[in-house]
């Protein structure tokens, strides 16, 4: 736009200069261009200025479109960054849950092992007590009548202890079964969490 105004001013001054009175000399007549050539030249200058103006305007529009596209891309990049940060946070939380489940499984397995060992030792004690009870019964059958009452009391005492041990053993077996069920559930949760991750 500015170029076209400048060129119009130049063209106007050239016309004014050509329209003013000029003394004709022989040298001037030789150098002066005909009016048609000046008009053609001015028309070319005007067309050139219009072309420049068009190029300027189209370039400005293209730059505006590029700028708008860049802003749109910047918004998309910001959204992607936010989504990446959220995904990293979710991944961190999932890893924390997996570690917690693994720790719980390790503790549960250790408790189950301890309980199984204790149960094995209790079963051994039960077997030993049964042998003692049998020995006492044999002794009672072969002992003299005066010590029978004392031996019967001991046998009843041992029998009570044996029953208590049987109850305790049964309770421990149930505890182990419960712990194994919990371990199985923890394993399933851990596998499900790992698969979803």
* Domain range summary for the chain, segments of one domain joined by +: 1-15+34-75, 88-197
| CATH architecture, domain 88-197 | Orthogonal Bundle (1.10)
For residue range 143-197, list pLDDT tens digits in order: 655 566 777 788 888 888 888 888 888 888 888 888 888 888 888 887 777 776 5
Rounded Cα–Cα distance for residues 35 and 186 (Å):
102
DSSP 3-state of 142: helix
Indicate if the pLDDT at residue 21 is higher than 50.
no
CA angle 152, 156, 162 (to 5 degrees): 140
Crossing angle of helices 2-19/35-142, nearest 10°? 180
CA angle 4, 5, 11 (to 5 degrees): 85
What secondary structure, in 3-state letters, does 175-197 show?
A: HHHHHHHHHHHHHHHHHHHHHHC
What the block records as the tokens of 111 is: 């408790």
Backbone φ, ψ for residue 49 (5° rounding): -65, -40
The maximal CA–CA distance of the chain, rounded, in angstroms, is: 175
Predicted pLDDT at 16: 45
| Neighbour-count burial of 102, counting CB atoms closer than 10 A to its CB (0-12 exposed, 13-18 middle, 19+ buried) | middle
For residue range 25-74, list pLDDT tens digits in order: 445 445 555 788 888 888 888 888 888 888 888 888 888 888 888 888 88
The answer to whether the CB of 100 falls within 8 A of the CB of 189 is no
């Amino acid at each position: 736009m500015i170029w076209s105004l400048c060129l119009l001013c130049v063209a106007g001054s050239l016309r004014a200069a050509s329209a003013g009175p000029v003394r004709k000399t022989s040298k001037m007549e030789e150098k002066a261009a005909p009016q048609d050539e000046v008009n053609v030249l001015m028309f070319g200058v005007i067309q050139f200025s219009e072309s420049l103006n068009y190029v300027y305007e189209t370039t400005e529009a293209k730059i505006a479109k590029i700028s708008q596209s860049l802003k749109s891309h910047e918004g998309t990049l910001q959204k992607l960054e936010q989504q990446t940060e959220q995904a990293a946070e979710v991944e961190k939380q999932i890893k924390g849950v997996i570690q917690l489940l693994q720790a719980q499984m390790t503790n549960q397995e250790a408790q189950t092992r301890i309980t199984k060992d204790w149960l094995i030792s209790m079963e051994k004690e039960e077997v030993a007590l049964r042998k003692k009870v049998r020995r006492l019964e044999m002794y009672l059958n072969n002992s003299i009548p005066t010590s029978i009452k004392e031996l019967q009391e001991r046998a009843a005492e041992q029998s009570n202890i044996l029953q208590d041990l049987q109850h305790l053993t049964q309770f421990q077996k149930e505890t182990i079964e419960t712990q194994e069920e919990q371990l199985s559930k923890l394993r399933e949760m851990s596998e499900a969490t790992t698969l979803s991750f």
